[in-house]
Amino acid sequence: MESIQSIKQRFEIIGNDVKLNRALEKSIQVAPTDISVLVTGESGVGKEAIPKIIHSLSHRKHAKYIAVNCGAIPEGTIDSELFGHEKGAFTGATQTRNGYFEVADGGTIFLDEVGELPLTTQVRLLRVLENGEFLKVGSSQTQKTDVRIVAATNVNMFEAIKKEKFREDLYYRLSTVEINIPPLRDRKEDIHLLFRKFASDFGQKYKMPTIRLDEAAIQLLLRYRWPGNIRQLRNIAEQVSVLEERRSITAPALNSYLPAPGDTNLPAVVGGQKSDADFGTEREILYKVLFDMKGDLNDLKKLTMELLKNNDTEKVQEENETLIQKIYGTNGESRSTEEEEQMEVLHLPEPKAEQPIYTPTVDDKYHFAEEIEEEETLSLQEKEVELIKKSLDRNRGKRKAAAAELGISERTLYRKIKQYDL
């Protein structure tokens, strides 16, 4: 059995952290067996090194090793990638294709970001783990494969199971042995070692002297939380190596390359799903607008009845000045911008601009009542025909203007004209 130190040298693993050494020790111990392994840890901690170690120390080391990034394959094609497909199984399947499980027969498959697998694919994977059987897409013939599976994930699997995004039975089949890689912030003694290694590599790569940190810069390096772990540390080392003219790096110079906590240049999420609170707020606004409009209509009915009963226009206007301004606006002005926006939200037709305020008289009262009685006797179809005729006459036969006045589309108006033979 190889020692931890020889494994570090062979796979260029730097660090002496106790948790890191324990993870490597478990990898060495589990390698000769065929049991499945789940590697856990945050993004950027170097989980991809563990399956390589396990494969190289196993009896499968002369067979194929295939690494698959499950999160990078579209959901519609991942079954075909993993298990293959028959000719004509779907649009574009012009020939039979062997999947990774068939190609890697006798070897090892590393499933990175296994938590991103669709539920349908999880069912297929569970069958492979249980009895080594799988079906190609579009085939009814069961095939056998002898593959060792090592999976990795950076998500909380118990949370994913709770949210029904990952099958519980598949999790327990994958995690026969679980190996956790600690985050960089928990490996304080390894941070400067890693930075020096990266700085030396980039110095050779870009043919320039290797950068070195002063004591204050080293302390800053150790205090930083490194949310991106080793991947982020490597990127920072490369930036400083290329951009800094001085080879001795001070704390202020290093600090200019470290993002502040919570600061990110990643794109903002646009068009995400609205929360229930957002929908609730919109509903409340709409309800308020509707109730306000209902109140305005009731006030308008009340004002009209007072005018019909009293026939004292000036008195009614004085007593209801506030109400008249609320409904009609000051000096016959149109609605405010806020009210216009509310009307747009509700998709209601705009009122006619600059219409004179109609003030009914006592003589009109009986005429108004007669019209109401006549309208009540009309059928809905007769009323519709009458309105269309009036609108066409008023707009001199211009159908577009008539449709706009009626609040319907031109296409609907054309259909109505043909239907009623107008």
In a domain, 276, yes or no: no
Instruction: Judge contact between 396 and 389, C-beta under 8 A.
Output: no
The answer on 216 and 159 residing in a single domain is no
User: Quick check: 10 and 49 in contact, CB under 8 A?
Assistant: no
What is the Cα–Cα distance from 214 to 249, expressed in whole angstroms?
Answer: 6
CA dist 408 and 411 (Å) reads 8
Q: Is residue 249 assigned to a domain? A: yes
419: Cα within 13 Å, side-chain hemisphere:
11
User: What is the band of 27 on the pLDDT scale with cuts at 50, 70, 90?
Assistant: very high
Residue 342 confidence (pLDDT): 45
Cα-trace Rg, the chain = 38
- Paired strand residues for 289: none
Rounded mean pLDDT, 280-294: 66
**Residue 13 CA neighbour count, 13 Å, CB half:** 22
CA distance 165 to 176: 20
For the segment 149-154, the average pLDDT, to the nearest whole number, is 96
User: What's the chain's average pLDDT?
Assistant: 82
**Rounded CA separation 199/268 (Å):** 32
State whether 367 and 384 are in the same domain: no
Averaged over 281-296, what is the pLDDT?
Answer: 68
Residue 324 parent element (H or E): helix 321-328
Query: Model pTM?
Result: 0.62
b/e sequence 306-338, b meaning 16+ C-beta within 10 Å = ebeeebeeeebeeebeebbeeebeeeeeeeeee
Instruction: With beta carbons less than 8 A apart as the criterion, state whether 87 and 94 touch.
Output: yes
Number of domains in the chain: 4
Among 131-145, 225-239, 359-373, the least confident range: 359-373
Helices (H) and strands (E) in the chain, counts: 20, 9
Q: How many CB atoms lie within 10 A of CB 128?
A: 19
Cβ(81)–Cβ(66) under 8 Å? no
Model confidence band, residue 302 (pLDDT cutoffs 50, 70, 90)? confident
Has residue 335 been placed in a domain?
Answer: yes
DSSP-derived 3-state class of residue 112 = strand
Residue 262 pLDDT > 90, yes or no?
no
**Rounded CA separation 242/165 (Å):** 43
Same domain, 24 and 152: yes
Supply the CATH number for residue 224's domain.
1.10.8.60
Q: What is the pLDDT of residue 281?
A: 55
For residue 92, give the 3-state DSSP assignment. Answer: coil
Examine residue 165 and state whether it is found in any structural domain, yes or no. Answer: yes
Span 184-209, pLDDT tens digits = 999 999 999 999 999 999 999 999 99
Domain annotation covers residue 262: no
pLDDT (tens digit per residue) in 313-333: 666 666 666 666 655 555 444
**11 within some domain:** yes
Asked, for residue 216, whether it belongs to a domain, the answer is yes
Asked if the structure places residue 86 within a domain, the reply is yes
**Parent domain of 211:** 196-255
Residues 135, 204 share a domain:
no
Q: Which two tokens stand for residue 45?
A: 């901690």
Same domain for 120 and 176, yes or no, is: yes
| Range scoring the smallest mean pLDDT among 5-14, 121-130, 350-359 | 350-359
The number of C-alpha atoms within 13 Å of 268 and in the hemisphere containing its C-beta is 2
Residues 308 and 71: their CA atoms lie apart, in Å, by: 73
User: Which pLDDT value is given to residue 271?
Assistant: 45
Residue 14, CA distances (Å) to 192, 196, 197, 199, 239 in order: 10, 11, 8, 14, 21
% the chain with pLDDT above 70: 75
Task: Kindly indicate the confidence band of residue 416, based on its pLDDT and cuts at 50, 70 and 90.
Answer: confident
Q: Which of 207-221, 289-303, 350-364 has the highest mean pLDDT?
A: 207-221
371-396 pLDDT tens trace: 444 444 456 777 788 888 888 888 88
- Which H helix or E strand runs over 214? none
Check residue 322 and give its pLDDT: 65
The CATH code of the domain that includes 174 is 3.40.50.300
